[in-house]
Amino acid sequence: MADYEQLDTPSVVLRADLQRLFDSLHARGYETIAPRVENGAIIYDEVTSVDALPAGWTDEQEGGFYRLEGRDDGALFGYTVGPQSWKRYLSPPIRRLWQARKNGDGFEIVHEDAPTPHYALIGVRACELHAIHHLDDVYLGGSTIDADYQQRREAAFIVAVNCGKAGNTCFCASLGTGPAVGPGYDLALTELVTEREHAFVVTVGSERGADVLADVPHRPAAPGEIDLAEAIVAEAARHMGRTLETTGLKELLYRSFEHPHWDEVAERCLTCGNCTMVCPTCFCFTVEDTTDLTGQSAERWRRADSCFTTAFTFITSGSQRASAKARYRQWLTHKLATWQDQFDSLGCVGCGRCITWCPVGIDLTAEVAALRAEEIGQPQPEAVLEMA
Ligand code: SF4
Ligand code: SF4
């Protein structure tokens, strides 16, 4: 995916005119996907009206803890990230790849040819935009292209939102993935709620973003409004609930393969796989074939998978990662070390979801800190000293 250059100076759209953004996107054939409240959490779903956004809600998050609470300023984006990520729209967790129908002595393969959905993703946070770029690396960056992802991704219109609040489990500032959105959006909003106005400072990131903004009443942002927008995001950066020291992270993980701390984590880990399901960059899937009872048709399905199941590495002699220790170590080492070898980046964007939605509150920032702390003063093998 090409990075878009910022094409315009910031504008201001009033809260009262934000519906026109949704209307413009609808008029262009987009299905607008945005945050809304359901079952006590903020999820991403089809939202056609600004009035359905989570106005006046915020979230409190900690390890194994998530609650919505009211806020009295009526902000539409006054929370951080919930349990879902945008990967469910760009790479759906369940997808039929093809069907086969019996045809005389053989089978006729019928490939799926559903029309590509055109999503406008509204409310994409900085860390989530980075996560989408990571999915681009996985699905589009190698020798094999995922055509379904490619079509969805190219069709998607991205309305990013700068964070004005950092969550207790957020650590994007440590990784350079937030809270200010980077390149790759069509439009980016920063919400201003002051005594004088409820408005959005809007930055254009693409030609089609400029086209959509042209349909929405707006005016040039005043210098004071631009300064306030920047100050809000800077304040969020100062209030990250977590940090992750990235210096030498890959080498630390590789050195720690036999570290006793993995046993301590394994005593707590339920191997439920929640961390992989909520993670915006986890991409593993499996393929399942099914047949009907008459043997007349068969189907091939692609389903999201998790490295926390024993089936994930099952081969003829059994699961290759039978213990919780082996599976947690694999997951964390892939996120923070082997991903760097594969894609030249960390596989984590610091969204904090795996901490919040782990039922026992296992916290990768704490586990890495423990590996570091328990390593201090310990003699290092020669091979490790060479790597460092
Ligand atoms: S780390 Fe937490 S969320 Fe992940 S598998 Fe273990 S118990 Fe489940
Ligand atoms: S590993 Fe955890 S903090 Fe990092 S991107 Fe995945 S869910 Fe977010």
Per-residue pLDDT of the chain (388 residues; tens, 9 = 90+): 434 445 568 999 999 999 999 999 999 999 999 999 999 999 999 999 999 999 999 999 999 999 999 999 999 999 999 999 999 999 999 999 999 999 888 889 988 888 999 999 999 999 999 999 999 999 999 999 999 999 999 999 999 999 999 999 999 999 999 999 999 999 999 999 999 999 999 999 999 999 999 999 999 999 999 999 999 999 999 999 999 999 999 999 999 999 999 999 999 999 999 999 999 999 999 999 999 999 899 999 999 999 999 999 999 889 999 999 999 999 999 999 999 999 999 999 999 999 999 999 999 999 999 999 987 655 444 433 333 2
Burial class (CB in 10 A: 0-12, 13-18, 19+), 88: middle
Q: Which numbered ligand comes closest to the C-alpha of 332?
A: 2
Atom 8 in ligand 2: residue holding the nearest Cα: 351
Determine how β-strand 297-304 pairs with β-strand 219-220: unpaired
| Secondary structure E strands in 26-156 | 31-38, 41-46, 57-62, 65-70, 94-103, 106-111, 119-124
Q: Is residue 166 domain-shared with residue 254, that is, in the same domain?
A: no
Q: Is residue 28 domain-shared with residue 123, that is, in the same domain?
A: yes
How many domains is the chain built from? Answer: 2
Atom 6 in ligand 2: residue holding the nearest Cα: 279
What distance in angstroms lies between residue 174's CA and the mean position of ligand 1's atoms?
22
What distance in angstroms lies between residue 83's CA and the mean position of ligand 1's atoms?
14
Q: Is residue 157 domain-shared with residue 136, that is, in the same domain?
A: yes
Q: Is residue 191 domain-shared with residue 274, that is, in the same domain?
A: no
Q: What is the Cα–Cα distance from 267 to 180, expressed in whole angstroms?
A: 37
What distance in angstroms lies between residue 358's CA and the mean position of ligand 1's atoms?
5
Nearest ligand 1 atom to the CA of 324 is: 6
Q: What is the CB < 6 Å shell around ligand 2? A: 278-281, 335, 348-354, 364
Q: Is residue 172 domain-shared with residue 261, that is, in the same domain?
A: no
Q: Which numbered ligand comes closest to the C-alpha of 167?
A: 2
Residues in CB range of 87: below 8 A, 6 or more apart? 131, 132, 135, 280, 281, 283
Domain around 371: 249-285+308-387
Q: Is residue 217 domain-shared with residue 279, that is, in the same domain?
A: no
Mutation pick for ligand 2 pocket among 328, 351, 356 (CB with most ligand atoms within 8 Å): 351
Beta pairing partners, 43: 36
Query: Within a domain: residue 264?
Result: yes
Query: Within a domain: residue 301?
Result: no
What distance in angstroms lies between residue 335's CA and the mean position of ligand 2's atoms?
8
What distance in angstroms lies between residue 294's CA and the mean position of ligand 1's atoms?
40
Q: What is the pLDDT of residue 377?
A: 53
Atom 2 in ligand 1: residue holding the nearest Cα: 358
Atom 3 in ligand 1: residue holding the nearest Cα: 358
What distance in angstroms lies between residue 171's CA and the mean position of ligand 2's atoms?
9
Q: What is the pTM of this model?
A: 0.93
Q: What is the Cα–Cα distance from 124 to 153, expressed in whole angstroms?
A: 14
Query: Within a domain: residue 1?
Result: no
Query: Within a domain: residue 259?
Result: yes
Q: Is residue 143 domain-shared with residue 56, that is, in the same domain?
A: yes
Query: Within a domain: residue 368?
Result: yes
Q: What is the pLDDT of residue 387?
A: 34
Tally of CA atoms within 13 A in the half-sphere of 212 that contains its CB: 30
Q: What is the pLDDT of residue 385?
A: 37
Q: Is residue 169 domain-shared with residue 212, that is, in the same domain?
A: yes
Q: Is residue 194 domain-shared with residue 340, that is, in the same domain?
A: no
Query: Within a domain: residue 36?
Result: yes
Atom 4 in ligand 2: residue holding the nearest Cα: 348
Q: Which numbered ligand comes closest to the C-alpha of 266?
A: 1
Domain end call among 178, 208, 238: 238
Domain end call among 218, 238, 258: 238
List helix spans (H) across 141-271.
147-155, 172-175, 207-214, 223-238, 249-255, 261-268
Q: Is residue 17 domain-shared with residue 66, that is, in the same domain?
A: yes
Q: With beta carbons less than 8 A apart as the criterion, state whether 197 and 2 touch.
A: no
Element (H or E) spanning 386, and its range? helix 382-387
Mutation pick for ligand 2 pocket among 169, 249, 348, 356 (CB with most ligand atoms within 8 Å): 348
Report the b/e string of 311-335 with b at 16+ CB within 10 A: ebeeeeeeeebeebbbbbbbbbbbb
Element (H or E) spanning 6, and its range? none
Determine how β-strand 198-204 pairs with β-strand 187-193: antiparallel
What distance in angstroms lies between residue 172's CA and the mean position of ligand 1's atoms?
21
Q: What is the CB < 6 Å shell around ligand 1? A: 269-275, 308, 328, 358-360, 362
For the chain, the maximum distance between any two Cα atoms, rounded to a whole number of angstroms, is 75
Query: Within a domain: residue 102?
Result: no
Query: Within a domain: residue 40?
Result: yes
